[in-house]
Amino acid sequence: MPDTSDPTRGGKPGGTTTGATAGETFETDVPARLDRLPWSGFHWRVVIALGITWVLDGLEVTLVGSLAGAIHQSPSLALTESQIGLSASAYLIGAVTGALGFGWLADRIGRRRLFFVTLVVYMLASIATGFSWNFWSFALFRALTGAGIGGEYAAVNSAIQELIPARYRGTTDLCVNGTFWGGAAIGAVAALVVLDPAIVDPEIGWRAAFVVGGALSLVVLLLRRHLPESPRWLMLHGQPSEASRIVCGIEREVVESKGWLPPPAYGAVVLHRRGAASIAEVWRAMFDTHRDRAVLGLVLMACQAFCYNAVFFTYALVLTKFYGIPPHEIGWFMLPFALGNLMGPLLLGRFFDTIGRKPMITGTYALAGILMAATGGAFAAGWLSAWEQTLAWTVIFFFASAAASAAYLTVGESFPLEMRAMAIALFYAIGTAAGGVIGPALFGWLIESGQRLDIFWGYLVAATLMLVAAATEWRLGFAAEGKPLEQVSTPLSARHTDTRGR
C-alpha cells in the first residue's frame, strides 16, 4: 500500500501498516513517518509536558541544597551535616529503586501509563516531606520523592527519544535534560523568599517550599492528558495499526500548520510480533551484543553522577561553613550556578547533532574535569571569595551539564527499542548508586571535618572521574547523530530493517 501522505502524490497523511497476530511478521513505516516530520506544535507539547520532569527534579534538588542550612538549624529536625548528606543519599537510593521498578514496567505496559503513576508518587511524597518530624521521616519521604523522579527518567527519556525526529533528537534531549537547571533556578529564587525571616518564619518556609513544589505537579498531570502512547512502543508490541492511527493524527495536525509533508527518507521496518524482552535478552543485549556500549554508558553515568551530586547536594554547606554565608542568602549563589548549568545544554546542544556525539561528549567531560581540578586547588589554597567560587562552579558546570545530559542520550540510543526504558533505568540506577549515593555522603563527611584540604581531595576525585569518562567516550563512543533509532540499534523484533529505502 503506497504512502498516501507523500506530497508528490497530493495525498493525505497515512502510511504502510499491516496487522499482526502473535508470531507473525509485519511491516510498518511508523519510524520513517515520525522522523520526516518538521518541528511542530506537537513536538513542543511533548517537550513541555514530559520535560517538566527535569524542572521538578531541579526544583526538588535545589530546594534541599538551598534549604540545607535552614533544615540544619530547624528546631524540629536539627539535622547534622552528615544527616543532610545521608538524606541526599536517601533521595538518590529512592531514585535508583524507582528507576528500576518503573523502567521495567514502562517497557511492558507502555510509556503513557507510567507518566501518571510516577508523577503522583512524586507529588504525594514531596508534599509529605513538608510535614517531616525527624530525620527518619525526612529521609523516608525524600526516598519516595526520588522514586517518583527516578521512574520519570526512564519513561520520559524513552518517550522523548521515540517521538522526536532523528535530526533533532540530540539537541532536544540535551535541552530537555538541561531544564533540570531551570527548576534549580526557580528553587534558588524560591529559597530567597521562604528563608527570609522578614517575609516568613524559616521553619514554616522550608516546609511550605516542599508542599507547594509537590502541588505544582497537578498542572503537569493536566498537560499530559493530551499526549499519546509512543507509536514506536506500540509497533514493537504488535499494535502497528494503533501506532499508525496515532501517527496519522500527528500528521494531520502538522499538515494543517506546515503544509504537505516531505517523503520519508528511508523505508519500512519489518518486525515480528513478540512479547516483552526477557531479563536474559536484556542481559545478553547489554553485556554481550553491545558490551562496549554498556561499558560506555556505565562510565558516563557514574562519573557525572558522582561529580554532580557530590558538589551540588553539599554546595550550600560549603558556602555557610567556609564562607560564612547566611542560610537565607544561599539562593543568590545558587541562582548563577543554576543558570550556567541551564545554558550549557541550551547553547551547546545543537553541536551534538552537527559536530557529532563523540567529539562533543569527549570535549565537555574533559573540560569539566580539568576546570574542576583547578578550582578545587584554588579553594584549598583559600584564594577564592564566595562569589569567585560561585563563578568558577558556574563555568565548570556549563560544560558538565551538557556532558551529563549527553550521558542520558547515549544510554537511550545504545540499545534496542524493546528495552530502552529498562536500559535507561538500569544505567541510571547503577551510575547513581556508584557515583551519586556515595558522593553526597562522602562530601558531607569531608565538610564536617572543617578542613579545606580534605574537601579538595574529594573535588580531585570528581575531576579525575570526569577525565576518565572523557577518555572512555573517545575510545568507545559511536555516531548516532541524525540516524533513526532503529538504525543506531536494531530492534530485537526486527527480521530485517531497511533504513535506506532500498
- For the residues of 87-114, what is the DSSP string, one character each? HHHHHHHHHHHHHHHHHHHHHHH-HHHH
Which whole number is the average pLDDT over 272-289?
76
Identify whether the C-beta of residue 44 lies closer than 8 Å to the C-beta of residue 169.
no
Q: For residue 254, with 0-12 CB atoms within 10 Å meaning exposed, 13-18 middle and 19 or more buried, which class applies?
A: buried
Q: Identify which of 13, 473, 436 has the alpha carbon closest to the alpha carbon of residue 255.
A: 13
Tell how strand 269-272 and strand 494-497 pair up: antiparallel
Q: Name residues whose C-beta falls within 8 Å of residue 477's C-beta, 6 or more positions apart in sequence.
A: 296, 357, 358, 361, 362, 410
| SS3 of residue 326 by DSSP | coil
Residue 109 CA from chain centroid, whole number: 21
Residue 86 CA from chain centroid, whole number: 22
Per-residue pLDDT, 14: 54
Q: What are the phi and psi torsion angles at 27 (to 5°)?
A: -120, 140
Q: Identify which of 455, 324, 315 has the alpha carbon closest to the alpha carbon of residue 393.
A: 315
How many Cα atoms sit within 13 Å of 248 on the Cβ side?
Answer: 16
Identify whether the C-beta of residue 160 lies closer than 8 Å to the C-beta of residue 51.
yes
Residue of higher predicted confidence among 167 and 185: 167
> Longest Cα pair distance anywhere in the chain, in angstroms?
73
What is the band of 440 on the pLDDT scale with cuts at 50, 70, 90? low
Identify whether the C-beta of residue 68 lies closer than 8 Å to the C-beta of residue 243.
no
Alpha carbon dihedral 331, 337, 341, 346, in 10-degree steps, equals: 80
What is the band of 441 on the pLDDT scale with cuts at 50, 70, 90? low
Which whole number is the average pLDDT over 29-52?
89
Which whole number is the average pLDDT over 267-293?
79
Beta bridge partners, 17, equal: 28
What are the angstrom distances between the C-alpha of 107 and each of 213, 285, 425? Answer: 29, 15, 11
The alpha-helical segments, DSSP class H, found in 164-239 are 166-178, 180-194, 202-215, 217-224, 231-236
User: Which residue reads 504502510 in cell numbers?
Assistant: 16
Instruction: Look at 50-59, 77-86, 92-101 and tell me which has the smallest mean pLDDT.
Output: 77-86
E-only strand ranges, 214-289 = 269-272
Which whole number is the average pLDDT over 451-474?
88
Asked if pLDDT for residue 427 goes beyond 70, the answer is yes
pTM: 0.79
- Give me 96's grid cell: 535508583
Alpha carbon dihedral 162, 168, 169, 172, in 10-degree steps, equals: -110
Cα–Cα distance between 68 and 59 in angstroms, integer?
14
Per-residue pLDDT, 381: 85
User: Which residue reads 550521558 in cell numbers?
Assistant: 407
Cα–Cα distance between 394 and 373 in angstroms, integer?
14
Q: What is the pLDDT of residues 384-416, one digit of tens each?
A: 888 888 898 899 999 999 999 899 899 889 888
| Amino acid letter, 181 | W
The DSSP code for 8 is G
Alpha carbon dihedral 134, 137, 139, 141, in 10-degree steps, equals: -140
What is the band of 359 on the pLDDT scale with cuts at 50, 70, 90? very high
| SS3 of residue 489 by DSSP | coil
Beta bridge partners, 270, equal: 27, 496
Q: Identify which of 426, 373, 421 has the alpha carbon closest to the alpha carbon of residue 396.
A: 373
What are the angstrom distances between the C-alpha of 48 and each of 41, 91, 145, 156, 220? Answer: 10, 25, 21, 11, 9
What is the band of 5 on the pLDDT scale with cuts at 50, 70, 90? very low
Cα–Cα distance between 251 and 49 in angstroms, integer?
19
Which whole number is the average pLDDT over 122-131?
87
Per-residue pLDDT, 435: 64
Q: Identify which of 462, 457, 453 has the alpha carbon closest to the alpha carbon of residue 397.
A: 462
Asked if pLDDT for residue 32 goes beyond 80, the answer is yes
Q: What is the pLDDT of residues 195-224, one digit of tens each?
A: 666 666 666 766 777 787 777 778 888 888
Q: Name residues whose C-beta falls within 8 Å of residue 352's C-beta, 6 or more positions apart in sequence.
A: 170, 171, 174, 360, 361, 402, 406, 409, 481
Cα–Cα distance between 193 and 149 in angstroms, integer?
25
Instruction: Look at 94-103, 317-326, 376-385, 459-468 and tell me which has the smallest mean pLDDT.
Output: 317-326
Which whole number is the average pLDDT over 295-306?
89
Alpha carbon dihedral 214, 217, 219, 225, in 10-degree steps, equals: -160
Per-residue pLDDT, 9: 37
Identify whether the C-beta of residue 380 lies closer than 8 Å to the C-beta of residue 452.
yes
Instruction: Look at 70-74, 137-141, 233-237, 461-465 and tell me which has the smallest mean pLDDT.
Output: 70-74
Q: For residue 11, with 0-12 CB atoms within 10 Å meaning exposed, 13-18 middle and 19 or more buried, which class applies?
A: middle
Asked if pLDDT for residue 174 goes beyond 80, the answer is yes
Per-residue pLDDT, 38: 93
- Give me 346's grid cell: 541550551
Which whole number is the average pLDDT over 475-495?
86
| SS3 of residue 26 by DSSP | strand
Cα–Cα distance between 418 and 423 in angstroms, integer?
10
Instruction: Look at 14-23, 431-440, 477-486 and tell me which has the smallest mean pLDDT.
Output: 14-23
Q: What is the pLDDT of residues 55-81, one digit of tens each?
A: 877 776 666 666 666 676 666 677 776
- Give me 438's grid cell: 556515595
Residue of higher predicted confidence among 217 and 304: 304
Per-residue pLDDT, 200: 65
Q: What share of the chain is helix, strand, coil (3-state, %, to 5)?
A: 75, 5, 25
User: Which residue reads 562530601 in cell numbers?
Assistant: 443
| Amino acid letter, 307 | C
Per-residue pLDDT, 308: 77
